[in-house]
Every structure is written in structure tokens, then in C-alpha cells.
Structure 1
Amino acid sequence: MSRALQHGEIIGLVKPAVDAHTLGLATVRSLLGDCGFACVDAPAHINALVDRPLRSEDVGVIEAWVRSAGVTRLGFSYRLDPGEGVEKFERLVWALGASALLVDRGGPIRSLYFAGLPEACRAAAERLGDQVVVFAGDEADHETLLKLGVPPERITASMRDSAAYDEARLSFGREVLTRGLADAVRPRDDAAYPGFGTRSDTLEARLTDAHARGLGPLMRAHVGPYDEDRERAVRQMIAWARMLAQAGHLDILSLGTSQLTQSHFGQDWSGLANGGGVPIQNADEYRSISEAALPMLVRTYSGTRNVPALARIHERELNIAWHALSFWWFCSLDGRGPYDLAANLRQHVETCAYIASTGKPLEPNVPHHFMFRGADDVTYVVSAVLAARAAAAAGVGHLVLQTMLNTPKRTSGVADLARVRSILSILRSSDLRGMRITLQPRAGLDYFSPDLDLARSQLAAASALMDDIEPSDPASPAIVHVVSFCEAAYLATPPEVDESVRITRAALRHYRRLREKGEIENMASNAEAAQRQEVLERDARLTLHEIEESVPSPYSAEGLRLIFAAGFLPVPHLWHCREEFPEAVRRQTALIGGAVRVVDDAGKPIPTAQRVAEASDIARRLARADALS
């Protein structure tokens, strides 16, 4: 069913509501836009339909959307359980056939696309044959476009060519793999400081020890098995925690909990749908996992309901290494929590004050969530700074700065360096009331190939990129969030987590040796990275200045809501609450030269000064209206 795209065709994109992963669709949308083809996102009610068995009346609802939107190709993305993904897609295909929407029945839809995990893609191809073109996430940009049916002459040369820096890092990653450098990595000796490996241990003590012994960054990895049998999943998590602790490679266990753990902790879950992650329901289970994990430190997700209360439970039962908050996210804005944006921000700012009282660090999970929804590089930087300043205003004394690289995956390495360096530069020159900043970079969710050997090389290449953020500082980064190499194919178990940590350590050591010998470029003096940072940092500082001039109490919950509502942080690919926040979704973005820019209808970049001036006017108007209400 693969046919060449014609001028004027429209590609519809469907994503089941239960799947929170949006980045792959954003990438496809951007790629097709660069080639002159339009995409339309299915509205929320269409996405929700394919989460359940379809009724006869649902067929007409789907048909009405397809015809009214002018859809001629239909893409479907589901990156959770492979069996569920194919089942949901088959429901959609059945509905299209029942309403004669496919081209072989005289309908408008000329091609179907399925994007999912490799196992799901294989199953979809086996069941549906040439009805569907499948995408496992491993395709290069030009391969993706060809499979979508884009004529070769419409694909730009820049899409086919990789940047020299990115090619060099991937070549380095292959060298790490072929030489087996990770095999030589051994567990580090336990520290001897008082409290090590006990329930009174702290991140600060662990960081101080690692720095004093020259051990390099602490390693954190995310782990959370899911099973429909809840108690079996918890038992498996306890066993995995023991395995990782005994292996001795991982420093910080990041506990990946389920959606109901975050929203209904300690409550009756009967009849409630749950999302992926370990389904922890009570405090005893938290404590059992944390004890099994010793001597590792433990951290986990915040709640999406009663956020301060769950933070207190995490403090008491986990001795949590640091707390994590997403501020604008995990609420009605992204469909992952029950609160509206205003209530969510109030809960998070209140939780910041509690975190400050504990003396524990805070990790804002912020900039990458904006990027998942189509934000530009300026928004990446500004959102990180806003979250840090809000935390400082609440009294938080230590910030774990998580920065997700390779997001979207077509981002160039030098653009990533400019982003993170800009954040660090602005924060270090800000009045943060003495707040400590600890850098924690990570590879992107959408970056890794399902080809496991290629993914291992990509992990090493991403590790090199992390080390190039501050190549002159041997203590940076202080923490690395290790994304396991197999995540694009299947859930990482302890052996894959340990191997990923060893690859990361080996890559960092080898990369630093090569830099010392002058065999690789020292990116501290790379002119392109410096020039990109200069422009990006200037635009981010301008945006922050305009925010502080036009938004009353910008680092309060209401101020952060107003910043979003006024359009300072554009998210054109937001799936939820679009009518509530029209200014936030009004602008479009595009990947230009490896960086994401805000563009006009013709695809031309809009100057930041122009955009933020308009947002400032809107903010003042909204603030006046709020004052009168």
C-alpha cells in the first residue's frame, strides 16, 4: 500500500490516549514539513476510541474526522506493549475498511503507516501484509521519508548528510564496542564515609566521595518492570534491586513506578487502568525495595495527585536521594494527571517548599517535556531556568539539572552543546540564593536504534557528547542518567542496565584519554558550538527579561501558569488543552540546521525579540484580566 506522495496530500497521525510518547510523531511531522507535506493530529476523542473495542457508531466518528480533515494517509504510533499496539491498530484498520475509507474501496486513504516497537512492527507486517508500512524507529531521516512515499527529489541534501561531529562520535562509539572496552570496567570499591550504604546516606556525601577519589560521575538508571499481576511485579522489582546492588555498577536506582502509583497511591485500584512501570501501592513495598537496593541511593517519580503528601512518603520510606517535579507537566496539559495546570503548579510549588525543608535536592523534569511537544531551543533553555529559579525562590538549596540530549533525535550535537551550556551559563550568573547546581545529562528517548549493536555504539557516542558539555572540567558531569541501550527494543533488565553503565564508563574514560592526547577535537574551543551558544543564550536571556518585566511574580505558581498561557513557551504539538491555551500552540517550529526554531507559516524563523514582545503584551493583558476577576 506504499504509493508516492502527491502535492496537497495530508497525513493524519493517530496516537492512543494511553501512550504518552509523542516524540516520534513530532519527528515525522517535522520531516514531512521540511519536504512540503502537511500533517494533521487526530483530536483527543479519536485517539481515545482506539484504546477500547470499537462500537458500530465509532466507525462514523472516525470517518467524519478523516473526511473533514482531508486525510489521504494515516499514521498510527504506539510504543508500549507490542501486542496491545497491534490490536489497537487492527481496530483502526477495521474501522477504515468498514467505512470504505481505504483507496481500494474507493476511499481517500492511500497508505497506512504503523510505528511501534520492533516486535509490534513485525506482527503488524505479518498480519496486514502490504496494507501497511512499518517503522521501528531505527530509520534514518531520508529512509523514513522514502518509506512514507516522499519522492526522492523532495528530500533535502541536509537530511541525507550527517554533521562531521556527529559522525565522529558515532565512529568513536563503534570503536568502544569493537574493542570491548566495557568488558574491562569493574565495580567501584565501596566508599568509607560515615553512613555510606545506609538509610541515612545522601547524594551530597556520595558526590563528595566520588570527586575526592576521582571516580568520575555517579551512574543513575531507570528501572521498573510491569506485570498485570501487581504483587509479582513488586517481587520482581525487589529481586532486580538486589541484583543491581550486588553487581555494584549502579550508584543510583531510579524507580520507574506505574501511573496508578503516582495518582492513587495507597488507594483501591479495582477497575482502574494502569500504565507501564512497577505498580507500588503502599509504603511497605517502597521500604522493601529501598532496603533491597542498598548501598545504592534511590529516587523515583513524584505523584500526580496529592503531590506534597507523596513526597513526604518518598522521604520517609525511600530516603529519596532527590525529589523530581515536572511543574507544567503530568497534569491535564499532557493527559498524565488529574489536575489542571494552575492546580498542578500550586501543588509543585508547595512541594518545592517541603523539599527545601528536608535539605534534599530537586530535579526539575522540564525542558525535554517541552521538546516532546514541539518546543524550540529557546524554550528548552528558558523552561529549565524558570524551573530552577522557582525552586530557588521556594528555598531549595541543591538542583539536579537533568538535560535530555538528542531531543528530537535529529538535533545536531553542537546544538545540544549550545542548549546545555546556555542553561549552565544563565543559572551560574543568576541570583539563586546559593543553590548548588549538579549537571545530570542523559541520552534522548527517541535516539536509540532497535539494532542492539548500533544502540550500544550510540550509547557510547551520547556519552562522548555529555563529556563535551564542559570538557575542561574533569568533575563534569557529576551524574549521568544512563538510558539502557536496549530501550528501543525492550525493557532493560539488570544485565542490560549493568552493561549500559559499563559502556558509559568505558566511553567516558576512553574519550578523555583521546582528548588528552589530542586525537579528538576539544569542543571547548569549537567555533560553531560557541557561536550557537552566543545566539541561543542571548535569545533566552531576552525572553527571561521580558517575562520578568511583564509577568507579576513570575516564579510563583500563578506566574508560571501565566508565562505558559501568554505563549512564552510555545508547544505546537501539544495534544491536550489546546483550546484552553491558544497562545501556547499558536506558533509553529521547525528543525533548521540541527536546531529547533520558531517559524512563520512560510517556514521562516521568527526573531525572538518579535515573538517575546507579543507574548509580553498578551501577558500584561491576561494579568490585568486576572486582577479584575
Structure 2
Amino acid sequence: MKKTYLAFTVGNDPHTEGLFKSAHIGRLANINCHVLAPGKTIDEIAEAIKYHEPDFIGISYRLTPEIGVKEFTYILHKLEELGLLTKENGDRRKIALAGLPKTIEILEKKKNTLPCEVFLIPPETDPLAKAISVLDYFEVYSSRREKALAQLKEEMFPYRVKELDQLAEEVIAGEKYRLEPPLNVPSEKAKVSLTYRYEEAGRPLIRTHFGIPSDSIYPTVEGIKIIADAKVVDEISLGSSDLSQRYFGRPEEFENRKNDGGVPYKDYDDLVMLFKATRRGNYPSMKPYAHVYDILNFIDICIEAGMLIGAHQAIPLFWFNELDGRGPLSVSESIDEHILAVKKLAKLGIPVEMNDPNQWASRYAHDTLIVTDYALITAVMVTSGVKNRIYQFQFNKPVETGDLADLAKMSAAIEISNIIAQYNPSSRMWKQTRTGIEYLSPDMEKARYQLARSTLLQMIIDPQIIHLVSYCEADHAATPEDIIKSSQIVRRAIRLFEENKPDLIKYMNDPIVLERKEYLIKEASFLLEEIAKLNLLYTGGHLSELAPYLANNDTLKKAIKTGYMAAPGIMHPSYRQEYLLTKPTKYGFIDAINFETYKVLSEEERLNQLKRFNKLN
């Protein structure tokens, strides 16, 4: 009989990527695997355990270590109290805990205080070693283990551009990056205009998230001052705490609630204090993380506090709601609010980034769907009157993605977005690139190399902005010193890229990249036309004429409700597609596959499969 694995996060941690990786390994080993959506209550977790009767339970928390230890301890004691750590036949369920390195380190010392034996998933720097650890947890041996490992090796080690390996080593050699000169101090005009700041700088702008988990904003205020004085970033995105995103303007709601990470600003005065900390050094502009409710009013408050001036704002399309457990709104309500926010930002002349594709990638959406999502956010932005459209291209996400696969996916997204944008020729595209956090190792030396290598790869698509992800993120939230060093690594990588540009940009025309790019454009174009047909007013037309149909609120809601826009990592029962599987294929492409034959599905085949199973159910 097949064994069963149930996985979930605790403490409202929205990061489920690691759980899906463990579930993927489990499926390769012939184990039934189920991952719960984030934000489940203890009662909902208990019901899921009773329903699935799992042999294995995986629990994850990858935010603040000390809070993580408390969350793990609480959930285990509660499950023991409910009698759910034992199966109906009397056997104990096997429990695995996964978190940041420090979390695991603390738990290792406290194992004997927990109500059951736990298998701690170690923070391995080698992805294959981590996979082996998961197979050990699942007690998979003999031929099943060999078969699973063979498949995983093929997925984990796609083709690599050797020049990137060599240059990345040169970037970090002898810590020469520490000699990088500071960024220029912008003119008064550039301080209030992100686009002019770029033109004046003559290089990619650098932005970063920053927010220190604490009970107050003061550590973040002091940290911002250090970053500004060091002149290492052009824009600071406040790493807002979950409490701030949910309860800003209601300080009383912060009482007796734990801060799950980030800076817990509570009101207008806090925003003013945080912004004033940037008025020194090279005067970085400032934007907050997107809130999960009352966005329109929050935009006005930010501008009054000094934020968003000379900055941009990021707004999702489908996310930050019931779909990912990060907000109280329904998907329908949030689509309406997000589009209104984009229109408001457009009227205010503030550049807009719709940070939607990253969220799909975090849930193992296939490459075609990611490219399609870039087209959908383009349609929303150009029909909303956005003058400066900022696109975030997240590389090495998921980590199984290959170099050539990334270049093909991003170039396809750029091309199809430009076609959709023909609806409003006065709107300009700004390319922003970043490294996926999951790509970075908890080994700090290796992580510095990875940040350098990823930056070199990103530069091939000629970005105007680099979203700096600090090399330490797999281990801990970035400190000011971490951000300073990470910026120096990125800037040295940019410098060495320019010196070796001809040897690297040739990969944009690699036959594998070009063939995959054309395939993705063809597949995404088919899916976009099918989505456009969900609009009752659609009468046909060229891709360049589809923006008004695709940007329609009701059409977008139908696109996700029907499963046309879907990913294996969506666990919400109203949007989950049980039969959708994706996996890495040759060169690190991420494709949708038939769940029975494991063959790659075209979009036409995927939608036919979807319609067939919807009829059956």
C-alpha cells in the first residue's frame, strides 16, 4: 500500500516552495503527497491529518528562527494533545521539521524536550544532498531510491554557461568587490524621478528590500541611515511585516500579535520617520511592500509621508489574498482593488511594477504560464495608462531552471509583452532582474559566488534595474552590512560583465534559447487567445489588439477560476487543479506534464485535459 505524506507551514509563513520540493521527491518515490495552503489554523491542520491519515508529516517555517522554534514546539504539543501524532493502528507518524539554519540548530539542542521524535531536514548547500536527506526521511531505499535519484540528478543539474562560472569566481576572488566605489549622489531632479535617476546614473539602478524583524521600527531606521550613508542602493523597499500589511493604521491590532518578520510600522508617523532616515548619503528613494487591503488609501498616506516620490510601487494581480493566505480579500475582490491601484498610480505618474509572475514561479507554474502572466500584467498596465511599466524578471527560480531556460523564458516574456503593449505605444518597459532567494546557499562563501553568477546571467537581458537580493538570505534577514557587501558584489559583477559583454550576450542567440523562446511565445499566444475568448465582447484579432479583453476584471477572474491560469502550488480548494503537474525537463525548462504518462503537455492538450476532468467532477 502506498504511504502518504502531508506537509504544511505554521505561523502564517507563506513560503511553501520547500514543501513542494519534498512532495515532488516523495511522488518520485511512489508516495501520496499533499501540501496544505499557508495560514491554516490548528483545527484545519487537525482535520487534514484525520482525513489523509499520513504516515509522514512535514512542517516548515522559514522566518525568524526564535519564533519558528516556538511555532514548532506549539504545533507538536498540540497535535500530541489531540492524539494526532499516532496513527489509528498505534504506529507513530514520522515528523520532519524544516527551517532556516539557525532554527534547525536551536531545535537540534531541544529535541529531547519535544513530545515526539523529529527528523530535522538539514540546511544542506548541495541540492542533491538535501534530496538524499528527504529520501532518508521517507525511508526510500533499493531500486526506488536509485530511480528517484536518477530523475532528480537530471532535473537538478541543467546545462551551465561556463563563462559565468569563471567570471563569478573572479567577482568574489580576494574580496576585491569591497573596493567598488560608492554610487553617485543624484541631482535634485533625480531624487524625485526614478526614470531620470536612471538616465543620470548611466548604469542599472539598484534596489533592495530592507526591514529588521523587531518590536519597533527603530532598528530599521538606524539601518536605513547606514545603508544611505554607504551609498550602495538607489531605492529601498521596506520589508514590511505581515502585521503592517494587514493592520496599518490600527496600532491596537498589533498588541498581542507576534511579528512574523519585517519592520512593524503602525501609522503615518512611523512612515515619516522611516522615510526621513533616507535623507542622507545618496538619498535612496523609498517604497513600502504592497499591503493586502485598503491599498488606495495607503498610496495617499505614503506620498504624504514622502514615500513613492522618486520611487515605484509594486502591485500584484492575482495574489496577496485568500489564494496564498497573505490577505483577507477574496481573489475577486483583490483583482478589483489591484487594478484600481494600478490606475491610481498611473494617474499620479508613479512607475508601476506588477510583481505577479514571481508568485506563480514560487508555486511551480510552468514556463508558458509565466510568459502568459507577463502578457496579462502588460494588458492591465497599458490599459490603465501606466507610462513606465517595470517588469521583475526573477532568475534561478525555481532553482532547477537552467541558464538557457532562463534566457529563453525572459526573452519570450519581453517579446510577448512588447506585442501586447502596442495598444499604448507611449508606455515604456523597464526591465528589472533579481536572484531567486531559494537559489542561494546557507553557505555564505557559496552564496556570494551564486549572487555574482546570477547577476552576470541577468545582465545578458540588459536590465535597467537590479533588485538586489542579499547573499545571506538563505541564512538570515539581511543586515545593513550584508546589503552593503551584496551591493558591492553586484556592482563588481556588472563591471566585469561590461568588460566581457561580447562573450556573454551571444547566448541570447543560442539555438536552444531561440527555439525555446519561439515555442513559449507560440504556446503563450494560444493560451492568451483562449483567455480572451472568456470575454463576452471578444470577436478575434491580432495579439497586439487583445489588451482590452485580457485586462477586463471579469475575464481575469474567469481565467483563474477555470484553471486556465493555474499552478501545482495553489492549494486553495476553489482554485486547486488536482491533475496539473509540472517538472523540470531538458536544459532546465519547466513544463506542464501529463500526470499519467509524464509527457510534456502543449497548452491545447493541457486545457483539453482540464476540461475533461472538470466534466468528470
Fold conserved (TM > 0.5)? yes
CA distance in 2, matches of 1:492, 1:600: 40
Q: Which residue of 2 aligns with 1:324?
A: 314
CA distance in 1, matches of 2:407, 2:564: 23
Q: Which residue of 2 aligns with 1:565?
A: 561
Q: Which residue of 2 aligns with 1:296?
A: 284
Are residue 280 (structure 1) and residue 262 (structure 2) matched? no
3-state DSSP class of the match of 2:252? Answer: coil
Are residue 309 (structure 1) and residue 293 (structure 2) matched? no
| Structure 1: segments with no counterpart, 5+ residues | 1-6, 50-57, 471-475, 622-629
Task: Please report the RMSD computed on the Cα atoms of aligned residues, expressed in angstroms.
Answer: 2.8
* Corresponding residue to 1:206 among 197, 200, 205: 197
CA distance in 2, matches of 1:235, 1:375: 39
3-state DSSP class of the match of 1:165? Answer: coil
CA distance in 2, matches of 1:94, 1:285: 38
CA distance in 1, matches of 2:345, 2:418: 21
91-100 vs 274-283, which moves further: 91-100
| Structure 2: segments with no counterpart, 5+ residues | 537-548
| One-letter amino acid of the structure 2 residue matched with residue 218 of structure 1 | L
2:346–2:387 Cα contact (<8 Å) kept: yes
* Corresponding residue to 1:243 among 215, 223, 226: 226
1:400–1:440 Cα contact (<8 Å) kept: yes
Q: Which residue of 2 aligns with 1:223?
A: 210
1:590–1:597 Cα contact (<8 Å) kept: yes
* Corresponding residue to 1:487 among 463, 473, 478: 473
Q: Do the aligned partners of residues 293 and 557 (structure 1) sit closer, same or farther apart at CA in structure 2, a change above 3 Å counting?
A: same
| One-letter amino acid of the structure 2 residue matched with residue 48 of structure 1 | T
Q: Do the aligned partners of residues 299 and 268 (structure 1) sit closer, same or farther apart at CA in structure 2, a change above 3 Å counting?
A: closer
449-458 vs 254-263, which moves further: 254-263
Report deviation, 1:224. 0.6
Q: Deviations over 1:589-612 (max 9, x none)?
A: 222232222222222222212234
1:125–1:132 Cα contact (<8 Å) kept: no
Q: Which residue of 2 aligns with 1:455?
A: 447
1:349–1:556 Cα contact (<8 Å) kept: no
1:224–1:256 Cα contact (<8 Å) kept: yes
Q: Do the aligned partners of residues 242 and 522 (structure 1) sit closer, same or farther apart at CA in structure 2, a change above 3 Å counting?
A: same
Are residue 446 (structure 1) and residue 438 (structure 2) matched? yes
| One-letter amino acid of the structure 1 residue matched with residue 603 of structure 2 | T
3-state DSSP class of the match of 1:227? Answer: coil
Q: Which residue of 2 aligns with 1:4?
A: none
| TM-score normalised to structure 1 length | 0.86
Q: Which residue of 2 aligns with 1:78?
A: 61
Report deviation, 1:72. 1.4
CA distance in 2, matches of 1:347, 1:75: 35
Q: Do the aligned partners of residues 224 and 609 (structure 1) sit closer, same or farther apart at CA in structure 2, a change above 3 Å counting?
A: same
| One-letter amino acid of the structure 2 residue matched with residue 457 of structure 1 | Y
Report deviation, 1:84. 2.3
2:251–2:267 Cα contact (<8 Å) kept: no
Report deviation, 1:217. 0.7
Q: Do the aligned partners of residues 401 and 280 (structure 1) sit closer, same or farther apart at CA in structure 2, a change above 3 Å counting?
A: same
Report deviation, 1:166. 5.6
2:320–2:327 Cα contact (<8 Å) kept: yes
CA distance in 1, matches of 2:63, 2:430: 32
3-state DSSP class of the match of 1:180? Answer: helix
**Residues 189-588 of structure 1: pairs in structure 2 closer than 5 A:** 189-192=184-187, 194-197=188-191, 201-211=192-202, 216-228=203-215, 230=216, 234-270=217-253, 271=255, 273=257, 274-294=259-279, 295-320=283-308, 321-430=311-420, 431-433=422-424, 434-468=426-460, 470=461, 476-516=462-502, 518=503, 522-552=506-536, 553-576=549-572, 578=573, 580-581=574-575, 584=577, 586-588=579-581
Are residue 157 (structure 1) and residue 150 (structure 2) matched? yes
Report deviation, 1:302. 2.4
Report deviation, 1:95. 4.9
1:460–1:504 Cα contact (<8 Å) kept: yes
Report deviation, 1:615. 6.6
Are residue 88 (structure 1) and residue 43 (structure 2) matched? no
3-state DSSP class of the match of 2:437? Answer: coil
CA distance in 1, matches of 2:355, 2:220: 23
CA distance in 1, matches of 2:219, 2:47: 46
Report deviation, 1:35. 4.1
- Percent identity, aligned pairs only, is 24
Q: Do the aligned partners of residues 272 and 420 (structure 1) sit closer, same or farther apart at CA in structure 2, a change above 3 Å counting?
A: farther
CA distance in 2, matches of 1:62, 1:343: 26
Q: Deviations over 1:494-521 (max 9, x none)?
A: 11101101101111221332344x4x68
